[in-house]
Amino acid sequence: MKKILVTGGLGFIGSHTVVELQNSGFKVIIIDYLSNSSIDVLDSITSITGIKPEFHQLNLRIKKDVISFFENNSIDGIIHFAAFKAVGESVHQPLDYYENNIGSLVYLLQEIKNRNLDNFIFSSSCTVYGQADELPITESAPTKPAESPYGNTKQIGEEIIKDSCKAYNLNAIALRYFNPIGGHDSI
């Protein structure tokens, strides 16, 4: 059974992804610092799927903790949702956003490289497109200068991943969401 690490797995998008992964037969390991989520979500995932995913409360900004996690866990792929995400807040707390969103990404990518892992999904954002020149926006639309520190962390993150793919033979994709909503049948 393939093991998938889902960072931010107790957040909205992360928890829905965990449910779908478990329902598809994957073993899921969640890392979440609970800075913008609740441990109660773990019980909801367990109730929906009948499987309690392995959970680690971990701050991905602490490099030694990230290294320790990977030393003690075997992973086949990573879906990285963990990030600060409020555009307005990022304007008032830009350094917190850069430290959290970029630092945690770099530490994960370093461990992917060190352990010869090669599958990575990055939760990016539609903010990388800026104000569109034409609608609808497609995947081939050019990116524009970021309008917030949050958006800039997503653009920088994508660039870091592109460079890592070239240098380390990493398979990666960035998901650029527009207003993710939804719900599970259990709601």
Q: For residues 111 and 109, give the distance between their C-alpha atoms in angstroms, rounded to a whole number.
A: 5
> Which residue type is seen at 105?
L
Q: Which of 44, 56, 57 is nearest to 18 (CA)?
A: 44
- What is the model's pLDDT at position 96? 97
Give the residues across from 4 on adjacent strands: 28, 77
What is the residue-wise DSSP string for 157-177? HHHHHHHHHHHH--EEEEE--
Reduced to 3 states (helix: H, G, I; strand: E, B; else coil), residue 56 is strand
Q: Classify domain 3-175 by CATH number.
A: 3.40.50.720
Residue 185 is classified by DSSP as: T
Establish whether the linkage from the previous residue to 53 is cis, with ω within 30° of 0: no
Check residue 120 and give its pLDDT: 98
Assigned token pair, 175? 């998901």
Q: Above 70 in pLDDT, residue 186?
A: no
pLDDT of residue 81: 97
Q: Are 83 and 104 in contact (CB under 8 A)?
A: yes
pLDDT at 130: 87
pLDDT at 182: 67
pLDDT of residue 134: 85
Q: DSSP letter for 55, please.
A: E
Q: Is 150 among the catalytic positions? A: yes
The mean per-residue pLDDT over the stretch 13-24 comes to: 96
User: Which DSSP letter does residue 133 get?
Assistant: S
The catalytic position among 33, 150, 168, 177 is 150
Q: How far is CA 140 from the centre of its chain?
A: 22
pTM over 0.85? The answer is yes
Instruction: Give the phi and the psi of residue 142 in degrees, each rounded to 5.
Output: -70, 150
With a cut of 90, say whether residue 98 has pLDDT above it: yes
The answer on pLDDT for 187 being more than 60 is no
Return the domain boundaries, the chain: 3-175
Q: Residues near 95 by Cβ (< 8 Å), separated by ≥ 6?
A: none
pLDDT tens-place string over residues 166-175: 999 999 999 9
- Span 117-149, pLDDT tens digits: 999 999 999 999 988 888 888 888 999 999 999
